[in-house]
Amino acid sequence: MKTVLSSKGQVVIPREFREEFKWKKGTKLNVQKTSSGIFIFSVPKSPLEELGGMLENMAVSEKNIKKFRKKDLLLERSVYHR
């Protein structure tokens, strides 16, 4: 498959490849020089970046923390004040 180098030195990676490798806007890539040209591969995500997506879905706000703490206190009172 062919692509063209722009005047800014940019290369368009064909959509077929971007979709196959799940490369989206902002994906970090490594470029390595080889004896026959260049080799492009994605930078592995750090374990913290992997967890970041999971944490986004957890609604941890000050309001929710206070609500959970209030439930804990009510439960403690009901158990210890029987």
Is the overall model pTM greater than 0.75, yes or no? no
pLDDT of residue 69: 72
Provide φ and ψ at 6, rounded to 5°: -80, 175
Q: Which two tokens stand for residue 55?
A: 């944490």
pLDDT of residue 66: 72
pLDDT of residue 15: 94
Residues of the chain where predicted confidence (pLDDT) is lower than 50: none
pLDDT of residue 52: 61
How far apart are the C-alpha atoms of 49 and 56, rounded to whole Å? 11
